[in-house]
């Protein structure tokens, strides 16, 4: 995609692409983990909720894969 940008603007385009990638790819993970794991705080099931939170993060790639396949089919 960077080849479609004018040569003088490629460094800026690369920086913006990296910023968006980091904001959308890395920023939500701690929030999602914390939101799921917080349900078990102060209960006997804290370990269960911690493992469930990690499972949600790992299985999230399956959801993204389904959306990507749907995008390619369409």
DSSP 16-70: HHHHHHHHHHTSHHHHHHHHHHGGGTTSTTHHHHHHHHHHHHHHHHHHHHHHHHH
pLDDT at 25: 83
pLDDT at 72: 93
Q: What is the pTM of this model?
A: 0.62
pLDDT at 9: 92
Sequence spans of domains, the chain: 2-73
pLDDT at 64: 87
Percent of the chain scored above 90 by pLDDT?
A: 49
Residue 1 clears pLDDT 90, i.e. is over it: no
Instruction: Quote the Cα angle for 46-58-51, to 5°.
Output: 15
Distance of alpha carbon 14 from alpha carbon 26, whole angstroms: 17
């Amino acid at each position: 995609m960077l080849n479609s940008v004018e040569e003088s603007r490629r460094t800026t385009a690369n920086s913006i692409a990296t910023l968006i990638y980091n904001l959308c790819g890395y920023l939500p993970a701690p929030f999602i983990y914390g939101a799921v794991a917080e349900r078990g705080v102060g209960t006997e099931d804290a370990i269960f909720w911690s493992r469930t939170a990690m499972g949600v993060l790992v299985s999230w790639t399956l959801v993204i894969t389904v959306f990507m396949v749907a995008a390619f089919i369409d």
